[in-house]
A and B are shown apart, each in its own frame.
Chain A
Amino acid sequence: MRYLPLTDKNRRAMLDKIGADSIEALFIDVPSAARLKGPIEGLPFHQSEFEVERALGALAAKNIPASACPSFLGAGAYRHHVPASVDHLLLRGEFLTSYTPYQPEVSQGTLQSLFEFQTQVAMLMAMEVANASMYDGPTAAAEAVMMANRVTRRGKAIVSGNLHPHYAETIETMAETTGFKALVEKPQPQKDEDLSALIDDQTSCVVVQNPDFFGRLHDFTALAAACQAKGALLIVAVTEIVSLGLLKPPGAMGADIAVAEGQGIGNALGFGGPYLGLFTCKEKYIRQMPGRVCGQTVDAEGKRGFVLTLSTREQHIRREKATSNICTNSGLCALAFTIHMALLGEAGLTKLAEFNHAKACDLAERIASIPGCRVLNESFFNEFTVELPKPAEPIVNQLAFRPLLAGVPVSRLHPGAKDVQNLLLVAVTELTTEADMDALVAALREVCK
């Protein structure tokens, strides 16, 4: 077996040193009835590298990836171009095969990149501090609500109906399992919500999204003030991180906590995971913040260095009193983000965002001109909602056979909601070509006849 260095001769010599007759003898403490006599039956034996590659390649070939056809899928996961150098650097064994940097003297590479990551994330969101990542956007949002509950010592979250349903459902699950209230409003693809009217003295936070699930843009400055007036926190979620290259950031609207899905920078679509939860907040709340944090310090010679810090909030120190049970997070995804963002820089990110928006404007205009199709958004970044003359889901399923991935039917994520059956979310990125757009426009013309 190519991954196992011990030879039978090694094993014999080692057993002699230990004073055991066999490896089986080392399992003496396992109840004998539970000790198998040999490899588990009914499972295949080991395979060569090329056989495994072939088997997995065969499974991959049964899929039609978004890179193999025109794709307009978004709704919280976006296919952006990841530069080749990102993956090359990521695959350096010193990054790939290291553990959480608990031994800072031999982990300055991971730690410095985390410090750079936290700085980039705080800058993008215009927030004071960022942590070292969460599992993904939805878990970051749920952790944000629980943090708001701790900060305000209240237990009722008001959740916008235009928050991505996976985020809202994750918050609801945490509410039901850990014991707080989450009031999730109904989706409003067209109307503006008035969430400030719902805030009372029991409200710990209001959770909103920008651009919202339907792609619409909002300024939450007034809502932030309304929250503050009632002692509640405003949590802003961003599901398309590239949008912050162009849009007013959550910090500039007065958000107390801002979370995001960071997948769009540096990370593949990957069928939904692993992704990268970004978590930021005001500095005064850092001791209630979940997850790991990297901080600057000095070493024994007075040189600048970095360590994981504020660990007295964490489970390995605080156990049942920890702010969160999170341990492993999305380290390597965070590194991919950091490298990609370093490559982009201010000029690159701004241009990338402009490019996405320009393409989306172009496509929206073309779709709006199709008889029977209506674009609901007055504002958007790179994703908007189209109202079709008939239910969207069957159309999307049918176009997939061309193959053409026409967008995300709203009903897939809001199966119970009224009046959303005909709605289709259409996203555009820098990877969308003119030919892709032609294909979508032609297909929509056909199906709308």
Chain B
Amino acid sequence: MKNENRALMIEEALIFEQGEEGRTGIDLPDPPEAAKKKQKLGGLRRTGKIGLPGLSEPQVVRHFTRLSQKNFGIDSVFYPLGSCTMKHNPRLNEKVARMPGFADLHPLQPASTIQGALELIDQLAHWLKTLTGMPAVTMVPGAGAHGEFCGMAVIKTALEARGEKRTKILVPESAHGTNPATAAALGFTVEAIPATEEGRVDLQHFREKLGPDVAAIMLTNPNTCGLFERDIRAIADAVHAAGAYFYCDGANFNAIVGRVRPADLGIDVMHINLHKTFSTPHGGGGPGAGPVVLAESLAPYAPLPWVVRDGQKFALLEQAEGNAAKSFGRMKGFHGQMGMFTRALAYILSHGADGLWQVSGDAVLNANYILAGLKDVMSAPFKGPCMHEALFDDRFLKDTGVTTADIAKALIDRGFHPMTMYFPLVVHGAFLIEPTETESKETLDEFIAAMRDLAAKAKQGDVEMFKQSPLYTPRRRLDETLAARQPVLKWSPPESGSPDKAAKVA
């Protein structure tokens, strides 16, 4: 047998390839004999096997420990993924979220037993309103895109209440993909606004597109080029003069939190990704939370439920009645991502107003330090200063035969997670680097040195090294085309006739 293991890097089969019938990792007491005889299944008992493998606890622990070792995380490496705000995740947040007083609360308990939970939601809501300067917030949405949907549904409902049928949403070309996807899901047509040579909204073009058919603009600020939209007040004024709403994508709130209140920029709606700015962990793809702050005129349309205060007591308004009569309805089960609220509040209380002021300052400082450290060897499409992320394009790779993806993959072998690549779409071969405030100067210096070295190697024509990268990862470059062309989305037992063909290649 060929040895594929390399010290800490150990090949690990799927659980389905390891199990043995009769084994289990869970002991349960036997139900009383008398109880076992009772059956109320109405003839709907499952016939045949489910197919789940049997593993003991030590096997399961080792399996997932080994799998974890095949992952980069913020804990282990610098993770400058632009637009994703991969900052340190304090473990205190995890500890408080696991307090039985929060973790073991059933969402449908009587109000008298959940006062602390509702007070926590109210406290976090107060922080979010104060930090944004906005009068209202809904805590319901489950993630950023869900928050976008919520905010745009609020706008749509408000327009309907005004008796207006506005069909168009203006979205800058540089926007996150979720923006046009959200607008389209709500039945709006999307019109792209081009960017200027300075990487910002083309105000002239934007004004021309504004009209009585425009419902809203969806604008990310700072934008996805890492730049602050200088004309934001003029944009807001024009939007409002046209009778439309200003939706701000708050994915990049980390750049300005505690220093700039979005309300002072003229926005009407903004979602906040708690898993970005307020450091609830990303968890390999969620869960997140996407509370949405709202202007006074839009607040009545917020989704259910509402947390309301009735004298000294808190209560949940779960139906579209009373103050919530104009709500656009329910958009998920129960009351929002409580587990994320406890973590976000722990993060916020740890920092306080002074700490958050420093958060945005250091986030922006770190990004500008990277920009300054790399702009002579890479190509920055726009003039600085940048906000919390530094953007480069691939002009510096012209005629080298090396691509943005090659640099990203080579970076992996140097022990760094790649930056966001090929986004935003407005520049060619984008590198979007977001260091966040939780990285030390030493780490940034190491990263800058690694990037400078890679840029030099690309220019020296060391193409082969790049195309081979990464060399030291548990898997080398993966064939994404094959995965999409012949989708294998689950394991199948070998005898079923469709064994995993790919496995045989290994």
Contacts and interface: CB of A to CB of B under 8 A. Distances in A.
A103 B417 CA distance: 8
A359 interface: yes
Contacts of B36: 354, 358
Contacts of A46: 350-352, 354-355
Interface stretch (A128-136, A193-201, A228-236): A128-136
B130 A42 contact: yes
A66 B412 contact: no
Interface string A347-364: 111111011011111101
A297 B478 contact: yes
B339 A270 contact: yes
A247 B41 contact: yes
A103 B408 contact: yes
B285 A331 contact: yes
A449 interface: no
A39 B89 contact: no
Contacts of A14: 365-366, 368-369, 441
Interface string B60-87: 1101110111111111100101001010
Contacts of B185: 178, 324-325
Interface string A32-75: 01111011111111110101110111111111111110010101
B26 A123 contact: no
B38 interface: yes
Contacts of B203: none
A311 B177 CA distance: 12
A94 B68 contact: yes
B337 interface: yes
Interface residues of B, number: 211
Contacts of B7: none
A329 B286 contact: yes
B294 interface: no
Interface string B107-150: 11111111111011001000100110000000000111110110
A302 B256 CA distance: 46
Interface centre among B108, B153, B259 (most CB of A within 10 A): B108
A52 B42 contact: no
A62 B115 contact: yes
Interface stretch (A21-29, A183-191, A439-447): A21-29
Interface in A328-387: 328-333, 335, 339, 341-352, 354-355, 357-362, 364-365, 377-381
B38 to A, nearest CB: 4
B86 A99 contact: yes
Given A23-B364, A109-B69, A352-B26, A345 B408 contact: no
Interface string B213-250: 00000000000000110101100000000000000000
Interface stretch (B394-402, B449-457, B458-466, B467-475): B467-475
14 contacts: A10-B440, A30-B260, A31-B230, A40-B357, A61-B116, A75-B108, A106-B70, A119-B16, A132-B285, A177-B157, A247-B45, A325-B181, A348-B24, A349-B52
Given A18-B372, A332-B281, 6 more contacts: A61-B116, A98-B72, A99-B282, A99-B284, A248-B46, A343-B55
